[in-house]
Amino acid sequence: MAGARIAVVGATGAVGQEILRVLEEREFPVNNLICLADPREAGTRLSFKGEQIVVEGAGPDKLKGVDIAFFAVGGEVSEKLGPEAVRAGAVVIDNSSAFRLKDDVPLVVPEVNPEDVKEHRGIIANPNCSTIIMVVAINPIYLAAGLKRVVVSTYQAVSGAGKAGFEELEEQVRCYVDGRPLTSRVFQHQIAFNLIPHIDVWVEKDYSREEMKLVWETRKIMHLNNLPVSPTAVRVPVLRSHSESINLETERRLTASEAREVLSRAPGVVVVDNPHNNEYPMPWFTANRDEVFVGRIREDISIDQGINMWVAADQIRKGAATNAVQIAEVVVRDNLL
């Protein structure tokens, strides 16, 4: 197609602005762009392809004639305006958790289950950032050797809590250096020079909702409804990019060398695995990148059929904005508007 009429709802937020950058970088066929946000932010100007786009207040009337609407807002707004956009003729790609577990809404990571996009009924859900990062890394191993069990610990950057989380870490570091008292408003405890094993609210069996998203969403994306997943989610004093320690028990034995080869051929994966030269994935150099970086690939010495790996990726890019744009690329490529 020559170009699509695009709306970004929540365009002034971190993910919304990243979607604009990714659309431009990937040369997505945009015929017309509408930037929408809270009416209080109407009049804000955003840059796209050298032009200034004036932000308008989000509302159903602004979604008429839109082909693809990216929603980078909270679940309440998505639940209200998403169906309105669909009724107006748009395909909605939603970044909130509002639709992820609904049976009639595809939950898509294009490197893993692009074929699910064709099942959409107007709304396609973008998974949680940690889930996206993990399934890109583990799906190649699953395809090569099957999966019996996944154990994952996530080490999540403060920007996962939005701009306020980013600012709280910076402010606490300044206070520490200046000898001033540290206050915590965004996180449950001081985050500077600390780790907090608590993200989101507690749900079942003393697991947090952030942890259970890794269970529920991984099963849906990979079509493995009974896959055992044991998650732990930790907030760490890193500005950007999430890291994950992943242990996989496979159906057949893979050597570390075989796993490394499988991952080196996988779409969206970059293998950085030379630990004796201090080369492995880290948040610092994975920030502002679209790939999922995998290293510390080694055989589990506690079981016969196990692989350990260390993964890092930018949760705002691949974990949100880039994945959403990749979904839109599938929609356009396969004429699924």
Residue 172 CB contacts under 8 Å (≥ 6 apart), including other chains: 182, 183, 184, 190, 191, 192
DSSP string, 266-303: STTEEE--BGGGTB---HHHHTT--SEEEEEEEE-TTS
Please pick, among 175, 223, 242, 276, the residue that the annotation labels catalytic: 242
At residue 217's C-alpha, the angle toward residues 243 and 336, to 5°, is 110
Q: Is 35 annotated in the active site?
A: no
Which is it for the CA torsion 153, 75, 96, 219, positive or negative? positive
d(CA 59, CA 66): 13
Question: Could you give the strand order of the β-sheet that contains 149-156, starting from the edge strand earlier in sequence?
Answer: 229-235, 149-156, 242-249, 306-313, 292-299, 269-271
Residue 87 CB contacts under 8 Å (≥ 6 apart), including other chains: none
DSSP string, 101-117: T-TTS-B--TTT-GGGG
d(CA 178, CA 66): 51
Question: Within a 10 A sphere around the Cβ of 160, how many other Cβ atoms?
Answer: 26
Please pick, among 35, 120, 129, 276, the residue that the annotation labels catalytic: 129
Residue 277 CB contacts under 8 Å (≥ 6 apart), including other chains: none
- H or E element in which residue 54 lies: strand 51-54
Q: Is 242 annotated in the active site?
A: yes
Q: Are 327 and 126 in contact (CB under 8 A)?
A: yes
At residue 135's C-alpha, the angle toward residues 316 and 288, to 5°, is 25
At residue 131's C-alpha, the angle toward residues 160 and 272, to 5°, is 90
d(CA 211, CA 220): 15
At residue 257's C-alpha, the angle toward residues 255 and 262, to 5°, is 95
The set of catalytic residues is 129, 242
